[in-house]
Amino acid sequence: MRNRNWRSYINAEDEKPHISFKLVKRVLGYAKPYRWQLIGSLLTILIYTGVRLLSPLILRHLIDVTIPEKDIDRLLWIALGLLVLPIISGFFQIITRRLTAQAGEGVIYDLRVSLYNHLQRMSLRFYTHTQLGELISRLNNDVVGAQTAISSTLVTLVTNFIEILSILAVMLTLEWRLTLMGIIILPLFIIAARRLGRVFREIARKQMQTNARMNATMNETLNIGGALLVKLFGRTEAETERFARRSEEVKRLGIHRATMGIVFMVIVHLLTAVGTALVYGVGGYLVIIDLFTLGTIVAFGDYLSRLYIAFQGFVNAPVEFATSMVSFERVFEVIDLPVDIEEKENAIPLADIAGEIAFSDVTFKYPDTQEGLLNDVYRPYLAENAGGLLSEEEELQISTTMPVGSQARELALKDISFRANPGQLVALVGPSGAGKTTLTYLIPRLYDPTEGSIRLDGHDLRDLRLDDIAGAIGMVTQETYLFHDTIKANLLYANPAATDKALMDACRTANIHQFISELPDGYNTIVGERGYRLSGGEKQRLALARVLLKDPRIMILDEATSHLDSESEALIQEALEKLYANRTSIVIAHRLSTILSADLILVMDKGEIIERGTHQDLLAQGGLYAHLYETQFNK
């Protein structure tokens, strides 16, 4: 008997309830575009199966007729036939493999693109609560696991069913009594498979989970930011130990899976040996008393071996499919997650944008439920250590009594109302954690208000097309993100159709063109992972050039420059003055020049606007702004 993977021998009662008609229908929906490849593969497998059934009959004729009659010509034809049959079957095997590969890889492509597209539409909240390694595991491991159901299991199920019927038909024509003896042990296969199938399914699920955890650990610590943090805090040994624990869990499950697999293979081989011994024992006796020919018993044994293999594959195809369903379930879990920020079907297109922004009684609270999130995202620091770092959302949700001056609260923003007219510069000022960044995140619809509305040119943002909003707004965050690519590629990300002249003009405006020109590779210089080959000031000026290349009507900017030297800050300040021109600008102010030139200053504290006005008006009030001006800006 040829070797087969242990998964081909599993069956368990608890598998079937997990395979609902709705789930199967959805899975088959991904296979529908490739139905002709699947139908073609089934036809070629039928031909392959039919050709293979001829070999035992040829051997029977060789032993019973050709050799006893010493027919040399017939012997040559039989030898030629035994040579040609594998060639024919091999040819159809190649065609079958190509067709199933086209279907399977096609399903992987469609499923992965569908999953990636859905992830692109998820809100910022989803990414602040989900580990990157978990998502990569869904995109890679689970999608590949789901391929098995399309490219292998369904085809194998039908093929084995037809092969079983064909072999039984031939065996019954040879000797019905031996056929009954051969199939009497088949129920034992089912019993053994049902007993161990539950174990294998649980192992498969745990392996997917532990691999996702290991991937998450790698993604956290092997990106440039994580690697730098590990080195700066001297946590190399601790992270290696943490990764070793994850790897140890993967190793343990792998050993368990392999051990259980070989145990099951041994059981299967013993059962097969019982059936084979019965058939050859009784068949040999029938040969001795001249009720059976030697060629028939040889052919019968060959068919019996093939019957066992086909039956094992057939009765266990449902559990293979169920195992694949684990992967499909994990992929569909992500695809089925609701999108927090959705575009209405009849969304209003907005072509000519003036740039008026109006907040009306806006209140915002970071969601504190798991709705719309993955259920099994694993956070190793929170699970393995006594405590962990809290996100901005989690800090705001702390309801315990905090010291005076703390920004911890339940509502991130409360009753925010203001208007920024086209071309105005609005500066946001306040202590760290006051809600300034959260306010700016609401304008491009990274989040939606819990209460109230935000209007762009008189239209509620929720009524507009998302692409129009994104096209109208340019945002520069405090932490500049650059792809591991050339400077030119990173700049063109804002406007792929931009000409070289437009690109260079944007860089001149951002005071970065001279620096780029002096580099050996100029605009083709690779910036490194997240731009770490550049200084903070260089990255920030590149970010300004990138948003200038987009040429948005509305600018949102966190202009922090505390980590820059005086020369870089001066260059950026000059670039910002050009950036604000003729644009509606919402700026989290960190420098005096921005405050002095602002048309409106909003002073925020604990999620509320507590003061508003011009620089001189606010100084005259002698409130929080006056205190911040004396302590932070007037240096």
Burial of 545 (0-12, 13-18, 19+ CB in 10 A): buried
Whether the per-residue pLDDT at 318 is higher than 70: the answer is no
Q: How confident is the model at residue 597 (pLDDT cuts 50, 70, 90)?
A: confident
pLDDT of residue 16: 41
Checking phi first, is residue 359 left (phi over 0); if not, alpha (psi -120 to 50) or beta?
Answer: beta
Residue type, 617: D
Mean pLDDT of the chain, nearest integer: 79
Whether the per-residue pLDDT at 62 is higher than 80: the answer is yes
Whether the per-residue pLDDT at 14 is higher than 60: the answer is no
From residue 464, alpha-carbon distances to 71, 122, 253, 456, 583 in Å are: 87, 18, 50, 9, 20
**Rounded to 10 degrees, what is the CA torsion of 381, 383, 385, 387?**
80
Least confident of 116-120, 186-190, 337-341: 186-190
Of residues 561 and 142, more confidence is placed in 142
Do residues 535 and 477 touch, judged by C-beta distance below 8 A? no
Could you give the CA distance from residue 178 to residue 355 in angstroms, rounded to a whole number?
Answer: 87
Comparing CA positions, the residue from 2, 378, 74 lying closest to residue 213 is: 378
pLDDT of residue 149: 66
Do residues 373 and 337 touch, judged by C-beta distance below 8 A? yes
pLDDT of residue 387: 37
Count of residues for the chain?
635
Q: Which two tokens stand for residue 550?
A: 């987009």
Could you give the CA distance from residue 378 to residue 246 in angstroms, rounded to a whole number?
Answer: 12
Whether the per-residue pLDDT at 454 is higher than 90: the answer is yes
Most confident range (mean pLDDT) of 92-106, 148-162, 570-584 is 92-106
Q: What is the mean pLDDT of residues 283-295?
A: 83
Whether the per-residue pLDDT at 1 is higher than 50: the answer is no
Do residues 455 and 357 touch, judged by C-beta distance below 8 A? yes
Q: What is the mean pLDDT of residues 364-385?
A: 56
Q: How far apart are the first and last CA of the chain?
A: 85
Could you give the CA distance from residue 430 to residue 606 in angstroms, rounded to a whole number?
Answer: 9
Q: How confident is the model at residue 604 (pLDDT cuts 50, 70, 90)?
A: very high
pTM beyond 0.85: the answer is no
Q: Model confidence over 167-216: pLDDT tens digits?
A: 888 888 887 888 888 788 777 777 776 667 667 767 777 877 788 778 77
Q: Which two tokens stand for residue 448?
A: 């939606």
pLDDT of residue 560: 58
Could you give the CA distance from residue 179 to residue 171 in angstroms, rounded to a whole number?
Answer: 6
Domains and CATH numbers, the chain: 18-335 (1.20.1560.10), 357-374+409-481+539-633 (3.40.50.300)
Whether the per-residue pLDDT at 384 is higher than 50: the answer is no
Q: Model confidence over 228-266: pLDDT tens digits?
A: 667 666 777 888 888 888 888 888 888 887 787 777 777
Q: What is the mean pLDDT of residues 397-416?
A: 61
Q: If DSSP codes are grouped into helix, strand and coil, which group holds residue 414?
A: strand
> What's phi and psi for 510, nearest 5 deg?
-85, 5
- % of the chain beyond a pLDDT of 90: 13
